[in-house]
Amino acid sequence: METIATRLAILPFPEIDPVIFTIGPLAVHWYGLAYVAGILLGWLYARRIIQNQALWRDSTPALNATQLDDFLLWAAAGIVLGGRVGYILFYDLGSVLQNPIRAIEIWNGGMSFHGGLLGTTLAIIIFARRNAIPIWSLLDVVAAVVPIGLFFGRVANFINGELWGRLSSMPWAIVFPTGGPFPRHPSQLYEAALEGILLLSVLAYLVFRRKALKTPGLICGIFVCGYAASRIFVEFFREPDAQIGYLAGGWLTMGMLLSLPMALAGIWAIARARRAAAAAA
């Protein structure tokens, strides 16, 4: 018998097991693979960037391949630790205070991009200072490759059937197994397209065609602005976290609130980069 859900749902949710395979007690999840793929592919892309001397001021890359390899572990730690701590502080503090062991239960809530951004930024600053690398140039390199990780992460969110969107009657709406009986926006795929594919393409054009790395801080600022704008836009289609809901007006979400200062910081970084470039000319 046809139900309301089957009449409204145009696209069925793909039956993809969140667990790729198991070896004894070890289960390999798509989400974990997304983190590994994002970090490794980002590393390979970053190596290509720093090896292209024509992209850099005075044909001198700000760091070498060995330094980039050493930074990989710092980046991974910043992403994971910052992402988890950020999720706890921004989205789940009450539950963790009641049950502190929940802090290490990554499967309960997961990670926060904004927390991961702060953690990675801190790792960049410390690593750059310890290795005499210009901070803004290292920020630029990392910013140029971050959309790769964002793309894989959002696709993994979709496969896991989590962070789905609001109710929708669009022909591409999907009934998620954990999202109730009605179709919803596949907001994870919106984010994968905007934060991942589109942002990566824009930054690649600026790096390789416009030689933006010769203006330290410009790529970083554009990335931060681009992510903030994409996230704020998608938040209008994404269901807010159940434990928080809307912060005000039936539309303002925590994702929007956290992205607003990002946009301002990005604008400041772009202006600073241009002023510094003009002063050096």
84 labeled part of a ligand binding site:
no
Q: Residue 130 has which token pair?
A: 């310890």
Q: Which of 145, 164, 175 is nearest to 50 (CA)?
A: 145
Burial of 161 (0-12, 13-18, 19+ CB in 10 A): middle
> φ and ψ at 144, to 5 degrees?
-65, -25
Q: Which amino acid is it at 38?
A: G
Three-class HEC string of 50-89: HHCHHHCHHHCCCCCHHHHHHHHHHHHHHHHHHHHHHHHH
Distance, in Å, from the CA atom of 51 to the CA atom of 219, rounded to the nearest integer, reads 17
Which residues are part of a known binding site? 154
